[in-house]
């Protein structure tokens, strides 16, 4: 069995802990005769005499601690993944899916799950009433041995239409399998805070953030889910070592701002991919996506899914995109006139 040792991570944690135990030192100003600050000085413990010392700012130490936590989470995650018999046979990090709650109210234009539920699965027990949020208690009989389990890939467990009781039953059941990682993915990550003290440590808390552009999201009526900026703020404030972001399907963005968002969130892993179902979404050009991938790779693990040229990259495609946007803007203007 493959083993990823704790030594390096524990050693770095000990060093950071020793630095914190010494306490912070205030930096003082050495003023000249004119009263201006000419240089700075700080005090140090007497045992530092004769030693070479480096100055580390408090904010730098905090950033280092965050990176160490992410590395530790990544080590635990891949230790479980690489030792999974199921994971070794699959092309994804996910060993299996599990749907204790199905259905979703967000109505995303690109949703393959809704399409499947309302066509091929429409006569099954779970989807006879449509793609509505539903608890499936029989799923709490499932057992898991190892690997990574994707929770509710046919719904959003943290949508506002899901009862607290359902979520708590799922979280409690996850805690029974400490050697398995459970991947949660939602477009309503603000709700994670309501259950933060209840998640077991083998929980991966993820959010889908397709873009940083709320206006684009609204203009193209992508989804009724909370806006991307709301999801960003929720994930940024979430204190959890195993944070995961899915940028799929990727929509057009501002490189500088979007990369900044992801750095602020500090996920241990990010998935990036284009739409797979020919939905003609407002995608970024391939070159722009590659620039984002390079930026993200500087501080987190990036897994590339479908990376391809945008559907409009070509004269005919660009023409279709321009006409489509003009028609959408015209519909919007007419709607405003009707409201008046």
CATH superfamily of 76-309: Aldolase class I (3.20.20.70)
Nearest-angstrom CA–CA distance, 1 and 304? 27
Alpha-carbon distance of 270 to 266, in angstroms, equals 10
Q: Looking at residue 331, what is its pLDDT?
A: 47
Instruction: List the domain boundaries for the chain.
Output: 76-309
b/e code 272-291 from CB counts within 10 Å (16+ = b):
bbbbeeeebbbbbeeebbee
Helix, strand, coil content of the chain in percent (nearest 5): 40, 15, 45
Question: What are the two backbone dihedrals, phi and then psi, of residue 210, each rounded to the nearest 5 degrees?
Answer: -80, -20
What pLDDT is attached to residue 200?
Answer: 97
Q: What is the pLDDT of residue 54?
A: 74
Alpha helices in 43-101 (DSSP H): 58-82
Q: What is the mean pLDDT of residues 166-185?
A: 97
Of the two residues 260 and 17, the one the predictor is more confident about is 260
Query: Rounded to 10 degrees, what is the CA torsion of 267, 273, 275, 277?
Result: -110
Element (H, E) at 322: helix 315-339
Residue 56 has pLDDT above 60, yes or no: yes
With beta carbons less than 8 A apart as the criterion, state whether 216 and 238 touch.
no
Look at residue 319 and give its three-state secondary structure: helix
- Per residue in 72-95, pLDDT tens? 777 677 656 645 555 444 335 788
Mean pLDDT of 225-235: 98
Mean pLDDT of 66-75: 74
Alpha-carbon separation of residue 13 from 20, 56, 179, 298, 301 (angstroms): 11, 16, 23, 22, 21
The two three-digit tokens of residue 82, written as one number: 């690489």
What pLDDT score does 201 carry? 94
Taken as a whole, the chain contains a residue count of 340
- The pLDDT confidence band at residue 28, using thresholds 50, 70 and 90, is confident
Whole-angstrom distance, CA of residue 242 vs CA of residue 110: 27
User: 308: closest CA among 281, 269, 337?
Assistant: 281
- DSSP state at residue 46: G
Structure tokens at 105: 């109210």
pLDDT surpasses 60 at 244: yes
pLDDT over 70 at 270, yes or no: yes
pLDDT of residue 302: 86
The predicted structure's pLDDT at residue 59:
81
Distance CA 147, CA 77 (A): 9
137: which DSSP letter?
A: G
């Amino acid at each position: 069995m493959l083993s990823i040792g704790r030594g390096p991570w524990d050693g770095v944690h000990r060093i950071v802990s020793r630095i914190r135990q010494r306490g912070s030192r205030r930096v003082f100003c050495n003023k000249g005769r004119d009263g201006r600050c000419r240089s700075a000085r700080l005090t140090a413990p007497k045992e530092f005499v004769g030693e070479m010392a480096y100055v580390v700012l408090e904010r730098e130490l905090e950033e280092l601690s965050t990176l160490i936590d992410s590395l530790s989470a990544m080590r635990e995650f891949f230790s479980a993944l690489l030792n999974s018999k199921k994971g070794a046979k699959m092309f994804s990090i996910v060993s299996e899916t599990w749907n204790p709650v199905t259905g979703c109210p967000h109505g995303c234009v690109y949703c393959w799950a809704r399409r499947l539920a309302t066509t091929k699965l429409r006569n099954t027990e779970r989807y006879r009433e449509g793609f509505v949020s539903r608890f499936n208690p029989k799923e709490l009989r499932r057992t898991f041995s190892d690997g990574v389990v994707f929770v509710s890939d046919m719904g959003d467990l943290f949508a506002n239409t899901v009862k607290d009781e359902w979520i708590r039953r799922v979280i409690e059941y996850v805690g029974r399998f400490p050697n398995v990682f459970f991947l949660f993915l939602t477009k309503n990550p603000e709700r994670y805070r309501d259950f933060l003290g209840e998640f077991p440590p083998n929980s991966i808390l993820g959010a889908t953030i397709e873009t940083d552009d709320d206006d684009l999201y609204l203009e193209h009526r992508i989804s009724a889910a909370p806006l991307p900026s709301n999801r960003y703020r929720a994930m940024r404030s979430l204190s959890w070592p195993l944070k995961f972001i899915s940028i799929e399907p990727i929509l057009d963005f501002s490189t500088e701002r979007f990369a900044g968002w992801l750095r602020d969130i500090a996920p241990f892993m990010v998935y990036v991919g284009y739409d797979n179902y020919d939905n003609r979404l407002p995608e970024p050009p391939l070159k722009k996506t590659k620039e984002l991938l390079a930026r993200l790779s500087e501080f987190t693990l990036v897994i590339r899914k479908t990376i391809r040229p945008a559907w409009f990259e070509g004269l005919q495609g660009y023409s279709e995109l321009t006409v489509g946007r003009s028609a959408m803007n015209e519909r919007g203007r007419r709607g405003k006139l009707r409201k008046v």
